[in-house]
Amino acid sequence: MSLSLTKDLTSNLHKLLREGKSNLICPLSFCTFAPNYLEMAEYIPVELGTEKIGKLLKQYALPAIIAMTATSLYNMVDSIYIGQGCGPLAISGLAITFPLMNLSTAFGTLIGLGGTTLISMLLGQKNYDIAKRVLGNIFMMNILIGFLFAAVALIFIEPILTFFGASEATMPYAKDYMTIVLSGNIITHLYFGLNGVVRASGRPKKAMTATLLAVILNCILDPIFIFVLKMGIQGAALATVIAQIVSFIWIFKILTNKNDLLHFSKNSFHIDGKIIKRMVSIGVSPFLMNTASCFVVILINNQLKRYGGDLYIGAYGIINRIVFIFVMICIGLNQGMQPIAGYNYGAKLYQRVIDVLKLTIKWATMVTTLCFIFGMFFPNTVVSIFTSDPELKNLATEGLRITVMVMPLIGAQIVTTHLFQSLGLVNKSIFLSLSRQLLFLLPALIVLPLAIGVTGVWYAMPISDFISAIFGFILLASLIKSFKKEMAVQNSDKTTAQTITTK
């Protein structure tokens, strides 16, 4: 049976639940709403369809924001320790690894985000058996993809890093870091993929705790490995892997709790081609976005190296970490929005989808505006946290001011892209994901440096952000219009039903 058909059938059951008629059992054999599920109702996030949107978004987004902020600080702390403990070329070497980590993330999101989005929609539709099977497929596919990616990358590590912009001076740092990180790649994929499942299944605080556990461990181990044990950049990589292993073990324990509706079982670990196809169809948008980001960063690194030098790549690495923390807060907001939007979309409660969208955009815009203020008016202070090298500091300060020029618009753009993904609207999500990276940024990165040199690399970023934001707003307006049409039809049907009942 197709998911769309199940959506129509089970949305009516969702209505009965809201009206308190939970004693009714669906007579259709494929509508698997058995009595044992009713007994476990306390574990079902039905509040997503009934609770006030503001309260829900705070409840779901706050833990995700804390987790994402912690994750960005965790990456920032790595950069700070590496910059202060290993020197400016080490920061440049770390920046060289960004495309490879983006590519690894892309393959992780193909299954992880696609799977968690599907789980949210299935919970909204009351398809609990299928949600369990999706969970098992997320686990198995993350192991497979994590292993294959790491194996290929480790075999060709030097040619890959050279293509990414590494020089003789930065290659040792980049290679040392990525060799250790790739060795733990399977755990990285499982950690991020299953943490998203925990959040999507109505346990945002536990997802936050898992992230904080990894962050705290990393922050403790970083200075020990880098300064005390004199392991340099390898110590930072090892601290990251160990922290993720510990956090993954805790997440896995959560998902084996049989008292929860969504948990691993013996039947969970069978790969299902139809489920994988559905996960990939949803996850393809963030996959393409991260893959495009990978190639964009490769071009940025090579253009900076060509028109400036190794230290310009280090400056970009610092800018990336500064902007990253604000973007991650927005992603935390989106992660809070995702289960709410996905659940209510599955339940055909379109006004609630619109409400959570508007509130998320409002909060995200406040965050990115704060980024603009820091980057435009206090760049030197922020950059000084990462390095004391005068030349690197000046380069990063100049680049940061230019990069954040249109940041107030970026919050809404990020939310819009994630909304389409959360609702399984693949084509629009893909377009928004790729337009900024490929249609606008890549040409600007090639053309502008020819005219104004290395400064053109910095200006390419805000220009492409502005254009893609405009396209995002147009598509969003069209989506809201379609929701309003659906609500008008629903209201008309209710009026007709009431008329018939009265007669």
Q: What is the pLDDT of residue 486?
A: 83
267-273 CB contacts, 8 Å cutoff, 24+ apart? 267/132, 267/133, 267/136, 268/132, 268/133, 268/135, 268/136, 268/139, 269/136, 269/139, 269/140, 270/133, 270/136, 271/137, 271/140, 271/141, 272/133, 272/137
In angstroms, the Cα distances linking 148 to 134, 220, 282 are 21, 31, 22
Q: Is it the case that residue 254 has pLDDT exceeding 80?
A: yes
Residue 493 banded pLDDT, cuts 50, 70, 90: low
Q: What is the pLDDT of residue 73?
A: 77
Cα–Cα distance for residue pair 264/258, rounded to 1 Å: 8
In angstroms, the Cα distances linking 422 to 205, 226, 334, 335, 353 are 20, 40, 9, 9, 11
Six-digit token pair at 77?
């702390």
Q: What is the pTM (predicted TM-score) of this model?
A: 0.73
First vs last C-alpha separation in the chain: 36
How much is the mean pLDDT over the chain?
Answer: 82
Q: Is it the case that residue 14 has pLDDT exceeding 50?
A: no
Cα–Cα distance for residue pair 452/432, rounded to 1 Å: 28
Six-digit token pair at 461?
């970023």
Q: Which residues contact 481 (CB under 8 A, 6 or more apart)?
A: none
Q: Is it the case that residue 464 has pLDDT exceeding 70?
A: yes
Q: What is the pLDDT of residue 107?
A: 87
Quick: pLDDT tens for 481-490. 888 888 888 7
Q: Is it the case that residue 330 has pLDDT exceeding 60?
A: yes
Least confidently predicted of 12-26, 228-242, 394-408: 12-26
Residue 332 banded pLDDT, cuts 50, 70, 90: confident
Comparing 121 with 316, the larger pLDDT belongs to 316
Q: Is it the case that residue 380 has pLDDT exceeding 70?
A: yes
| Burial status of residue 70 (CB atoms within 10 A of its CB: 0-12, 13-18, 19 or more) | buried
Provide mean pLDDT across the span 98-111: 85
Comparing 276 with 21, the larger pLDDT belongs to 276
Q: Is it the case that residue 20 has pLDDT exceeding 90?
A: no
Degrees to nearest 5, angle at CA 50 with 45 and 51: 85
Provide mean pLDDT across the span 37-56: 62
Which residue has tokens 């259709």?
Answer: 28
Q: Which of 388, 351, 364, 358 is nearest to 491 (CA)?
A: 351
Q: Which of 182, 296, 169 is nearest to 237 (CA)?
A: 182
Cα–Cα distance for residue pair 76/247, rounded to 1 Å: 19
| Count of beta carbons in the 10 Å neighbourhood of residue 244 | 24
Torsion angles phi and psi, residue 486, rounded to 5? -65, -40
Contact 233, 178 (CB under 8 A): no
| Burial status of residue 387 (CB atoms within 10 A of its CB: 0-12, 13-18, 19 or more) | buried
Strand, helix or coil at 344? helix
Six-digit token pair at 371?
């980024």
Quick: pLDDT tens for 268-305. 778 888 888 888 887 877 787 778 888 888 999 999 99
Provide mean pLDDT across the span 233-255: 91
Comparing 15 with 472, the larger pLDDT belongs to 472
Q: What is the pLDDT of residue 367?
A: 95
Q: Which of 272, 255, 253 is nearest to 264 (CA)?
A: 255
Q: What is the pLDDT of residue 401?
A: 96
Quick: pLDDT tens for 213-222. 888 898 899 9
